Amino acid sequence: MEIILQVALLIIGFIILIKGADWLVDGASSIATNFKVSKTLIGLTIVAFGTSAPELAVSISSLASGSTDMLLGNVIGSNIINVLLLIGVGALICPIKVNKDTVRKELPILLLISTALIVLFLDIPLVGDAVDAISRSDAIICLLFFCIFLYYLIVMAKRNREMTSQKAEKPKYKLGKSLLFAILGLAGLVAGSQLVVNSATEIAHVIGVSDRIIALTIIALGTSLPELVTTIVAARRKETDLVVGNIIGSNIFNICVVMGIPVAIFGTITPESFQMIDLFMLIFSAVLLFILTRHDHQISRLDGALMLLIFALYYGYIVYGAFA
């Protein structure tokens, strides 16, 4: 009965998380429209970062409760899922055209930040320390990377002034209602993340599965649902420019903020159960995305099928290793 209760709480937590993310994104977007903020900047920040809000809420709750493996697993797992599963699904629905600037600028930024995370984490082979760890200073470095990325977005938005020639978009809600939705969304994220972390941890303990497995699978998949919904909707509407931009923005946000803020607040983490394959897949997924878009700036249905196959093999290996 205990495990049934925890599974029920886990599902409820995910529902609250996802609904909270929806409200937060709607409210924040409407606030931006009320204040006549550039829609380019909204799409690259509020949409991408807003859909990553569940990961941030889960990570803060995880570290507050002492689950360091769950924090890193949430970040690494979500980034792998975002590329291999989400873009793979989107490409199967509709071939994804990728902006040249995204291939030349934003993808290399993602590769740089992903590599920086691994370099900061691998203290044993690179520095000779006793344990691999992410320290508070490492987290601050990640947050500085994020500040640089935000500056890049602002500069890019200012250069794309064709947006200003379009008719001003009417806000979805008035300012008061927009603020209410944003506040309710944040509250839902906090409450939902608490339910998810607590119930997932209990399930892991009951069935003897490590926090790494739970974080890389259930939590990473669950907190990536907002990005998945956004990807499917954008692909069906053939607004494929939004798909890769949303994923890149979300992945950068995950590394720099979802991991950076909790570690900067609570201090050094020393995850113990992570394997090199997890870190390899983090880099491999980003490199694969760069290679597939490098020449023709498009992700075909065949490319999408390849991504989904790699995703299935990796997660099949994880699940097999957990119960073998």
pLDDT at 131: 83
Segment among 133-147, 230-244, 278-292, 309-323 with least mean pLDDT: 230-244
The top-scoring range by mean pLDDT among 1-5, 43-47, 221-225, 304-308 is: 304-308
Task: Tell me the per-residue pLDDT of 201-220, one tens digit each, with 9 for 90 and over.
Answer: 788 778 777 777 777 777 77
Identify the band that residue 222 occupies on the pLDDT scale cut at 50, 70 and 90.
confident
Question: Could you tell me the pLDDT band of residue 275, with boundaries at 50, 70 and 90?
Answer: confident
pLDDT score for 69: 77
Mean per-residue pLDDT, 311-318: 91
- The mean predicted confidence, pLDDT, of the chain is 82
For 137-186, write each residue's pLDDT tens digit: 999 999 999 999 988 888 877 776 555 445 556 777 888 888 898 888 87
Q: Rounded to the nearest 10 degrees, how much is the dihedral formed by the CA atoms of 205, 206, 212, 218? A: -130
Where do the structural domains in the chain lie, given as residue ranges? 39-58+69-165+210-323
**Which pLDDT score is estimated for 39?**
52
| Kind plus residue range of the DSSP H or E element containing 97 | strand 96-97
Q: How many residues does the chain have?
A: 324
pLDDT in tens, 234-254: 777 776 766 787 788 889 999
Q: What percent of the chain shows pLDDT beyond 70?
A: 90
Residue 161, number of CB atoms within 10 A of its CB: 10
Q: Are 45 and 8 in contact (CB under 8 A)?
A: no
The residues pairing with 298 across neighbouring beta strands, listed in sequence order, are 97
Question: Highest-confidence range of 26-35, 38-47, 218-227, 274-283, by mean pLDDT?
Answer: 274-283
> Which CATH fold would you assign to the domain 39-58+69-165+210-323?
A middle domain of Talin 1 (1.20.1420)
For residue 7, what are its two tokens? 């599974």
Each residue's pLDDT tens digit, 29-41:
777 777 766 555 6
Terminal alpha carbon distance of the chain: 25
**Tell me: the pLDDT tens digits for 96-139?**
888 777 788 889 999 999 999 999 988 888 877 878 889 999 99
Cβ atoms within 10 Å, residue 165: 6
Percent of the chain scored above 90 by pLDDT?
A: 28
